[in-house]
Amino acid sequence: MRYRPGMKDLLPALAAALLALPGCPAPVEPKPAPIPKDTDMCLAAEQGLERMQCLDRAGDPMWVNRNGERFRQICENAQLEGRVFLNPRCVADAATCDAAKKCPVIE
């Protein structure tokens, strides 16, 4: 590349402009998943679902799955692993199966 008049003046200005640009933003640290505080309610939720004989949309009991795992076991494991929050306090406090089904599940 051939030298052109004015190039000498352009390079310092370009270097100053690049240095004045803001850098990349600091990386955002992921927030740890909240630790559920109502895991102790998993058994009460299971007992309520069984007492009311709640069924899911497929007609299966909500207190035990097809593998024979009880709601309490699934609830405790899911909450400890942080996979899914089954909202056992809401389920335990539900007076009807419809109310229990409306408890929000957080994935």
Nearest to residue 48, comparing CAs of 102, 99, 105, 107?
A: 99
> Can you say whether residue 80 is alpha, beta or left, with left for phi > 0 and alpha for psi between -120 and 50 degrees?
alpha
Residue ranges per structural domain of the chain: 39-101
Distance CA 23, CA 89 (A): 46
End-to-end CA distance of the chain: 59
The per-residue pLDDT for range 25-56, each reduced to its tens digit, is: 777 776 655 555 788 999 999 999 999 999 99
Q: What is the pLDDT of residues 50-93, one digit of tens each?
A: 999 999 999 999 999 999 999 999 999 988 888 778 899 999 99
Residue 7: pLDDT band with limits 50, 70, 90: low
Q: What residues does 106 pair with on adjacent strands?
A: 85
Q: What pLDDT score does 13 carry?
A: 67
Beta carbons within 8 Å of 72's beta carbon, 6+ residues apart: 42, 43, 45, 46
**pLDDT score at 1:** 56
Looking at the predicted structure, is the pLDDT value of residue 4 above 90? no
The whole-angstrom separation of Cα 22 and Cα 106 is 38
